[in-house]
């Protein structure tokens, strides 16, 4: 078992080092953070979506923004697209591929930002949400994995974790989500730092 444990941490370290070695990622992260800051400075909101573990990450992102990250501050407008009533209604009436795009259509405004999370980059319901966001003039950030899939060319800011294992990708996604929140707070609530 110790060998398995050592291999898991070795893979995680390798994924982190590979991501950090590509300086393009730092530029994309900085631009994404600037986009999120601009969203809040323009009285917009951040929407987030993903499937399975990525939905949990989308929810974590929204609750850290509406709740708190490290210190007390006012709530920031954020919503994960995760309402079970909505999801089952839309999946039943329109198809599972529309569960996120219908919410973006209903609530999205041009001053908003959509965080689209997909370890494969090929989740059709996330792709449809991004396309709806584009139709509504909403900027999009993609937290992706593998080679970025179809979403890499659809989102405004494609952040791709270069790994093929979903759990290694998700481990990086949550780190990036925390970085986004810290970046937002440092700009809007500098007194907390």
DSSP labels, 89-105: HHHHHT-GGGTTHHHHH
Across the chain, mean pLDDT equals 97
The predicted-structure confidence for 138-187, as pLDDT tens digits, reads as follows 999 999 999 999 999 999 999 999 999 999 999 999 999 999 999 999 99
Residues 6+ apart with CB under 8 A from 151: 116, 118, 121, 122, 123, 126, 127, 130, 142, 144, 158
Confidence of residue 13 (pLDDT cuts 50, 70, 90): very high
pLDDT at 73: 97
pLDDT at 166: 95
Structure tokens belonging to residue 55: 């939905």
pLDDT at 36: 98
pLDDT at 47: 98
Find the mean pLDDT for residues 100-108: 98
**Domain regions of the chain by residue span:** 42-187
Say whether domain 42-187 belongs to CATH 3.40.50.10490.
Answer: yes
């Amino acid at each position: 078992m110790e060998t398995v444990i050592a291999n898991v941490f070795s893979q995680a370290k390798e994924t982190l080092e590979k991501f950090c070695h590509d300086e393009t990622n730092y530029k994309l992260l900085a631009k994404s953070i600037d986009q999120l800051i601009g969203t809040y400075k323009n009285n917009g909101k951040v929407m987030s979506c993903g499937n399975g573990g990525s939905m949990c990450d989308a929810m974590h992102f929204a609750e850290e923004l509406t709740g708190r990250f490290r210190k007390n501050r006012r709530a920031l407008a954020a919503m994960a697209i995760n309402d079970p009533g909505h999801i089952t209604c839309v999946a039943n009436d329109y198809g599972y591929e529309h569960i996120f795009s219908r919410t973006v259509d209903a609530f999205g405004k041009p001053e908003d930002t959509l965080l689209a999370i997909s370890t494969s980059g090929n989740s059709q319901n996330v792709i449809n949400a991004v396309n709806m966001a584009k139709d509504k003039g909403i900027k999009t950030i993609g937290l992706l994995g593998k080679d970025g899939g179809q979403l890499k060319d659809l989102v405004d800011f494609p952040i791709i974790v270069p790994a093929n294992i979903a759990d290694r990708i998700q481990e990086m996604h949550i780190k990036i989500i925390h970085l986004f929140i810290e970046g937002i707070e440092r700009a809007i609530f500098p007194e907390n730092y």
